């Protein structure tokens, strides 16, 4: 019922203004702008048309006498902007765009703890502090990792962390 009422209002609007307005759903070019703005007609209102840019966005009104059909080059641009792009799906799951890579397997013999440099007092202190932080009554793994980072940054000029 509402659609019929809107169509009757649109027809009356066209008859009152004696202008031939483009049909709803048609792409046109609004020539009032310096760069000729493309839009799709979404409604007729009081002798003007309401236009929406290809692909969506804010609408605007334009008089019927300032509109023209698009050129072939403008049609190409309209097609690119108004055609939805489907995402690449590698499997049937709608929420997963790529297959699960699985667990990361590190090579054998990888040691996460760096060895302190020989003869370096800060490295020795940091290694001892790291062991205390991991084996204490309430282990602090984050602070122990910070100690490992500081040992890896040998020589310690300037130190990244204050030494214990």
Q: pLDDT digits over 6-59, tens only?
A: 544 444 444 445 668 888 999 999 988 777 889 999 999 888 899 999 988 889
- pLDDT, the chain, mean: 78
Predicted local distance difference test score (pLDDT) of residue 9: 47
Q: Are 28 and 67 in contact (CB under 8 A)?
A: yes
Cβ pair 61, 67 in contact under 8 A: no
Pairing of β 27-30 and β 37-45: antiparallel
Q: Report residue 84's pLDDT band, with 50, 70 and 90 as the boundaries.
A: confident
Residues 100 and 76 sit within 8 Å (Cβ to Cβ): no
Express each pLDDT in 133-145 by its tens digit: 988 888 898 899 8
Distance of CA 7 to the CA centre of its chain: 38
Statement: the pTM of the whole predicted model exceeds 0.75: no
> What per-residue confidence (pLDDT) applies to 95?
57
Q: Which of 28, 22, 58 is nearest to 43 (CA)?
A: 22
% residues pLDDT > 70 (the chain): 69
Q: Structural domains in the chain?
A: 2-82 (2.30.30.140), 113-164 (no CATH)
């Amino acid at each position: 019922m509402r659609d019929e009422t809107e169509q009757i209002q649109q027809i009356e609007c066209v008859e009152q203004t004696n202008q031939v307005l483009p049909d709803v759903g048609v792409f046109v070019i609004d020539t009032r702008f310096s760069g000729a703005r493309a839009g799709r007609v979404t409604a007729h209102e009081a002798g003007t048309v309401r236009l929406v840019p290809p692909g969506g966005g804010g609408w605007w009104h334009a008089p019927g006498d300032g509109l023209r059909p698009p050129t072939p080059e403008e049609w190409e641009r309209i097609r690119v902007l108004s055609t939805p792009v489907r995402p690449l799906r590698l499997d049937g799951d709608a929420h997963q765009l790529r297959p699960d890579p699985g667990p990361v397997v590190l090579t054998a013999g990888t040691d996460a703890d760096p060895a302190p440099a020989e003869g370096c007092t800060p490295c020795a202190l940091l290694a001892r502090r790291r062991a205390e932080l991991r084996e204490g009554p309430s282990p602090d793994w984050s602070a122990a990792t910070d100690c490992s980072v500081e040992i890896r940054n040998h020589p310690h000029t300037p130190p990244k962390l204050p030494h214990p």
